[in-house]
A = this chain, B = another copy of it.
Amino acid sequence: MVSKLQAIAVCLAAASSLVSGQTFRRLGTCPTLGCILPPDQQDFLPGQLFDIRFEVHAPKNGSEAFNNGVPDEKFTATIVKEEKGHGKGPRAKSLTEFFGLKQEPKLEKWTFSWFEDLFAKDAKTPSVVNVASKVYRSVALYEPGTYTVVLDYYGGKTTVATWVVRPLAEKKKAKNVIFFIGDGMTTNMITAARLLAHKTINGKYQSLLQLDKFPVLGHQMSHSIDTFITDSANSASALYSGHKSTVNAMGVYADSSPDAFDDPKVETIVELLSRIWGSAWGAVSTAFLADATPIALTAHTRSRGHYGPLIDQVLNGVTANYSSWTGHDGPDVFFGGGAENFLPGSGSYLGKDYYTEFAKKGYSVSLNKTALLAAPKTEKALGVFCKSNLPVWLERNIFPENLDKLSNDPAGGKGAAKDLPGLKEMTLKAIDILHTRSKKGAGFFLMSEAASIDKMMHVLDYDRALGDLLELDDTIRATVEKLTELGILDDTLIIVSADHGHGFDVFGSADTKYLASQDDDRSKRDAIGVYENSGLSQYTIANPAISYNTGPNFPLNWDPRYVLAAGLGANPDRREAYGVDKSGPRTPAAPLANGSSSDYYANAKDKPNGFLVNGTLPTDQAQGVHSLTDVPVYAMGPCQETFGGTYNNIDVFYKIATCLGLGHGKHVTQGKKGGK
């Protein structure tokens, strides 16, 4: 396994930017030449397993050139717990002594390069760095308090990291946790979705979102450990592990080594739950299952793109490489898209058939909604319903003719995936199985993701993004009803949040008839009504010619004359005409016919009636990008009161872990396959 992964990783190391400047950094968490990973200012749950890596950097050239590019191989490190008011504190110990390790790890060495800024990139003058490193695997800190780790290198330089171990939390207060993630979902989008699906009379909504009924609201900060804009990998990882990371990393602190799978790991919520309580757990997503949000529950890699190996990790855990690690016996439920990483071939790990691999470990395998609904509640369940992401709610419910155009058969045929479940069917079935399979007292944990809020915002397809947000809200409503039926509503903490945002907002209405009637770009913009001319939502007005039957929580008309005018602050070049695209999701930008494939212009086939707007993003970006905004957290159930106010995304993990009694003062292995 190592050799193959290393091969992949070498390629990626060239493509991915390691991060001490701004646009680019040598290593984002290491502004000095001595690196401690986990770095300064990190938090830990008591007893949470993690790895520690030290790196000493010797830049050969560039503004940081040092010691002729020869890294100090004789570096040393110590750790000590701070003791207040006890006179003389304890002595700082080497890591080997402190953690009682049998032997000192071997020294590792490698070289990497980076650009100091965009001018250096244009000039093709990379800075090259030689590295000496050691890694300590699978350790834990059990006593709450503050720890100081010191790295000594180059005969007198020191790097210091201060770590905080959070309070003990050994009592389980919630039997179950259901964590809904609207990928990329912001307050702005929730407001817009409410306007689409729920009618107002004279300023008062006649019905509301399920989200609007949650008693407790908080905001969480989504930024990465080393950049203020995150991607979905490291933000999901922060929510699941209490440790932020770098863009594209999950379940690890990103190091500078070429191998994407040797980075220092941290134990995740489901690994903790499996080890400590033996709880059942599952993940449901409308994305492909190897995508960041579902896979970050079990993934330990710096590079999210290793889809095949990550599907192996979710089933078999981190067993095959490097060191012992906490075990888990695979999820009880795993539903979503991404057949290409299960079908034998180039997309799967070692070319194996993962339908078979899952079946061998006792999973029922469902490839369509009918099979899903019939799957036994007592068995572990895999459900893979298409290649790539699930088609969005708008295709599945309003424009099903578009489904036939796809070649996404989960069984590997050339045709389209038929008989697709939605987020609601997957989530309700997951609850049935998890509730049935959860051992007395151990309960379950379910993550359910509405992935295409993000994916459709990326392509500026506001209708499809909001359709999937409304599907999420409808799923939450159905979940509350289901938990009530099962008699477990009061035992279940329901959290709804997001991993990051997009800078979306609605700013008025557009008269699509008037816009289409105008001949030039500037006149078309007169179709936009702002303030007193914005009017009310026409999506909630019944049109006798239209009957979608998608329920009371969705629009009555997706294609009214007056539509929402909305947009983002960060865009590629594109045309805008607003209103729903009936032929499928947008592709707003494309290369010119004979142009570079990484130089994007407004796509001539997208919104041909619209007006042209040049973008604000680099022209190698074909899509919109993530944004900075804090995202909302909705909480209901045991421990709900701890989720009010404003906090970091890692605190979502500590709040959930505290509610679930996962912070222990000694190594606990009550789970069926606990133990390292």
- The stretch from A4-12, A207-215, A386-394 touching chain B is A207-215
- Interface: A670 (CB within 8 A): no
Closest to A244 in B: B203
Q: For chain A, residues 454 to 503, give those with C-beta under 8 angstroms from any C-beta of chain B.
A: 501-503
Once A191-B629, A568-B569, A570-B508 are accepted as A-B contacts, the answer to whether A617 and B225 lie under 8 Å apart by CB is no
Closest to A631 in B: B187
- The stretch from A134-142, A324-332, A533-541 touching chain B is A533-541
A201: B residues at CB distance < 8 A: 40-41
A514–B119 CB distance below 8 A:
yes
CB distance from A632 to the nearest CB of B (A): 7
B23–A535 CB distance below 8 A:
yes
Interface string of A145-182 (1 = CB under 8 A from B): 00000000000000000000000000000000000000
Once A217-B217, A507-B229 are accepted as A-B contacts, the answer to whether A625 and B530 lie under 8 Å apart by CB is yes
A221–B191 CB distance below 8 A:
yes
- Interface: A279 (CB within 8 A): no
B617–A23 CB distance below 8 A:
no
Q: How far is the CA of A502 from the CA of B535 in the complex (A)?
A: 18
B247–A632 CB distance below 8 A:
no
- Interface: A82 (CB within 8 A): no
- Interface: A219 (CB within 8 A): yes
Picked from B230, B246, B644, the residue with its CB within 8 Å of the CB of A216 is B644
Once A23-B511, A625-B508 are accepted as A-B contacts, the answer to whether A645 and B247 lie under 8 Å apart by CB is no
B221–A646 CB distance below 8 A:
no
Picked from B17, B21, B224, the residue with its CB within 8 Å of the CB of A203 is B224
B569–A23 CB distance below 8 A:
no
- Interface: A556 (CB within 8 A): no
A508: B residues at CB distance < 8 A: 229, 570, 625
Picked from B42, B213, B219, B231, the residue with its CB within 8 Å of the CB of A217 is B219
A204: B residues at CB distance < 8 A: 41-43, 648
Could you give 5 example pairs across A and B, Cβ below 8 Å?
A: A29-B202, A118-B511, A212-B646, A214-B646, A505-B628
- Interface: A352 (CB within 8 A): no
Interface string of A585-621 (1 = CB under 8 A from B): 0000000000000000000000000001111111111
Which A positions have Cβ atoms within 8 angstroms of B?
16-17, 19, 21-25, 28-29, 39-43, 117-119, 186-188, 190-192, 194-195, 200-205, 208, 211-219, 221, 223-231, 238, 244, 246-248, 501-509, 511, 514, 517, 521-522, 525-538, 561-562, 565-570, 576, 612-621, 625-630, 632, 644-646, 648, 650
A187–B630 CB distance below 8 A:
yes
B39–A219 CB distance below 8 A:
no
A247: B residues at CB distance < 8 A: 531-532
B644–A191 CB distance below 8 A:
no
Q: How far is the CA of A206 from the CA of B166 in the complex (A)?
A: 17
A529: B residues at CB distance < 8 A: 22-23
B246–A225 CB distance below 8 A:
no
Q: Which are the 3 A-B pairs with shortest beta-carbon distances?
A: A503-B505, A567-B569, A507-B570
A230: B residues at CB distance < 8 A: 531
Q: How far is the CA of A509 from the CA of B224 in the complex (A)?
A: 14
A614–B616 CB distance below 8 A:
no
A23: B residues at CB distance < 8 A: 509, 511, 529, 533, 535, 562
A225: B residues at CB distance < 8 A: 202-203
Picked from B226, B238, B505, B534, the residue with its CB within 8 Å of the CB of A501 is B505
A501: B residues at CB distance < 8 A: 188, 505
Q: How far is the CA of A19 from the CA of B531 in the complex (A)?
A: 12
Q: How far is the CA of A551 from the CA of B614 in the complex (A)?
A: 40
B246–A226 CB distance below 8 A:
no
A644: B residues at CB distance < 8 A: 215-217, 644
Once A215-B644, A217-B218 are accepted as A-B contacts, the answer to whether A616 and B576 lie under 8 Å apart by CB is yes
